Homo-oligomer: A and B are copies of this chain.
C-alpha cells in the first residue's frame, strides 16, 4: 500500500487500528502516527450462522493481538470497524447484513469489550466515501455522490460537506427502481438498478442471453468492442440505466460531482464517455455534475475506517482535556 519510507496517505495523527469487514474478507491494518499503513492483511471473514456477530468480533480480537505483536512500537488508541449492510452509526449497531447474517448486532459494544479500546463503528461504503472526500477524488466538493459499482452498486452521500446516512438506510442507489417490468432483485424488490447495471448483472445478463460463459463485465465489454450485438445491448442497457438513475439523483440532490469507483469503473472511458453523454442528454436546467474516477481504489474503505478511528480518538482526547 505504501513503501516503507513513504509518508502515509492519512497524514500524521494518533495511531489506530482499522478493520474493514467484508462479506468474504476482512482487511485490517495498524495506522502509525505518521499515517503509514502498517501490517496490512486480508483474512477470511468467519461466518457462523449461530453467532455471526460473535464470530466476526472474536476474529477482530485475535487480529488485534496479532497486529500488536507484529508491530510492537505502535500503540493504537482507538479501533475503527466498518461493515456492510444496514448500519446505524449512532447506536453502534449492525442493523442487517445479508452476507454476514446478523440482525441488530451491537458490534461497537462487542468490539470495545474484545479490544479494550474505544471503537468507531461505521458502514463500509460510507467509510470509503468519506476517505474519497477527505483524501481522494471527492476532495473539495461539498455535495458529492460516491458510487461503488462492482458485484453490486452502493453509494455514499456527502451533502453540505457532511456524510449523510439517513439512519443507516441512505445511499441504496443500487436498490433504486430502474425498470418496473424488470427482473426480481435479491433484495425482494423488482427491477433494481443493481439487476441491470452492476458488473455482476452485466456478466450474468450476457451469459444468459449469449450462452457464452464469460467471467466478468470486462469480457462483455471486450465482446461489445468486437461488435457482438448481445454484448453491446447488455452494456448499453447498463449505461442507459445508470444514466437515468443518475439523472434522477441530479434532479433531487444536485451534486457537484459523482465519483465512480469499484470494478466497473476500471472500464475507464468505455464507461465514463457514454455515461456522461447520456446523462448530459437527460438533463436540462439541472446542475451538471463532474463525473470523476475514484482515486483510492480498494483500500478506500480501510482508510475511511482509520479516519473514523482517528476522529474518535481526537474527540475523546478533547473530552478528557476539558
Binding site for B on A (CB under 8 A): 86, 96, 143, 155, 157, 159-160, 162, 164, 166-173, 175-177, 180, 185, 187-190, 244-245, 247-249, 251-256, 282-287
Nearest CB in chain B to that of A255: its residue: B166
Contact B284 A254 (CB under 8 A): no
Contact B284 A188 (CB under 8 A): yes
Q: How far does the alpha carbon of A252 sit from the alpha carbon of B251 in the complex, in Å?
A: 12
Q: Told that A188-B284, A189-B282 touch, could you supply 19 new A-B pairs with CB distance under 8 A?
A: A143-B167, A143-B170, A155-B252, A159-B160, A167-B287, A168-B254, A169-B287, A170-B252, A170-B254, A171-B252, A172-B254, A173-B251, A175-B285, A176-B247, A177-B251, A180-B282, A185-B284, A189-B284, A252-B252
Give the residue name and chain of the B residue nearest to A85 (CB).
B285
Given A170-B252, A252-B157, residue A188 in contact with residue B287 (CB < 8 A): no
Q: Is the CB of B284 within 8 A of A166?
A: no
Complex Cα spacing A255 to B187, Å: 19
Cα–Cα, bound, A169→B142 (Å): 13
Residue of A177, A245, A251, A287 with most partner-chain B CB within 10 A: A251
A90 CA to B195 CA, complexed, in Å: 40
Q: Which residues of B contact A283 (CB under 8 A)?
A: 189
B254–A252 touching, CB < 8 Å: no
Tell me the smallest distance from the CB of A160 to a CB of chain B, in Å. 6
Q: Do residues A256 and B167 form an inter-chain contact, with CB atoms below 8 A?
A: yes
A162 to B162, CA, bound (A): 11
**Structural contact, A286 and B175, CB atoms closer than 8 A:** yes
Beta-carbon nearest neighbor of A288 in chain B: B169
A190 contacts which chain B residues (CB < 8 A)? 282
Q: Which residues of chain B have C-beta atoms less than 8 A from A160's C-beta?
A: 159, 162, 164
Q: What are 30 pairs between A and B in contact, CB < 8 Å?
A: A86-B285, A96-B285, A143-B167, A155-B252, A159-B164, A166-B254, A166-B287, A167-B254, A169-B254, A169-B287, A170-B252, A171-B252, A173-B251, A175-B251, A175-B284, A175-B285, A175-B286, A176-B251, A177-B244, A177-B247, A177-B248, A180-B282, A185-B284, A187-B285, A188-B284, A188-B285, A189-B283, A190-B282, A249-B252, A252-B253
